[in-house]
Amino acid sequence: MDSVASIEPADRCHTIDRCGVCQGRISLSIPSLESPATSWRCRGCDAAFFGSAQLRDGKPFSGGMRSVYYFDLMTGLVDGSRRPNTRLNRLEQCLAHAVHEGPESRANQRFAVVSRVHVTPLSSDMRLAGPPAEAVTMNVSVSGLAILSLKEIAEPYLAVDFSAATDSIKPVILKKLRSEVIGRGHRYAEEFLSRIEY
């Protein structure tokens, strides 16, 4: 259990005051659509986070943290996972022709968009909680995204990097709403929380 488990994922105004690894004092906020995430490292232990700087007297403040470039943070992590995955290739081919069946649970219309992505699990304090894994998007709507991964992800948030498919879409943070096992894969219904600025 994270030391910052008291942060409610739905409450996007909460602050992150302690590093979940070294317990050092830090000052970040849970990102939102209005206050996008940037990349940070804890000065005490070098743990990586996505978050927004807190505001103090109307000015950004990020005590105990140092800002890092997104690509510098992710390059070493993603490069190690670029081996071809034949199971994921087959899933991607099957999903390209899939049609949503069953009751519609989204408030907005969904569109089938099948694309290779990298997903990185994030803990409740927005700390990178594991290495990126390859996944495939299934569909997208104005409010969210469905992802199919061969890896089970227990964390409440995911950082999604689209650079395997395109450089024109910035990475995003998604809040996990639902998950279900489909054969050997795991389908996650996610709500958009924030984009990640470079």
Q: Please say whether the beta carbons of 143 and 191 come within 8 A.
A: yes
Single pTM value for the model: 0.79
Write down all domains in the chain, each with its CATH number in brackets: 15-73 (no CATH), 77-195 (2.40.10.220)
pLDDT for 49: 96
pLDDT for 143: 87
Assigned token pair, 103: 């009751």
The mean pLDDT values, 10 residues at a time, for the chain of 198 residues are 35 76 94 94 95 88 91 73 56 54 63 85 95 88 87 93 85 93 86 92
Assigned token pair, 78: 């993603």
pLDDT for 159: 96
DSSP state of 105: -
pLDDT for 60: 86
Q: Percentage of residues in the chain with pLDDT exceeding 70?
A: 76
Q: Please say whether the beta carbons of 171 and 160 come within 8 A.
A: yes
From CA 15, how far away is CA 27, in angstroms rounded?
7
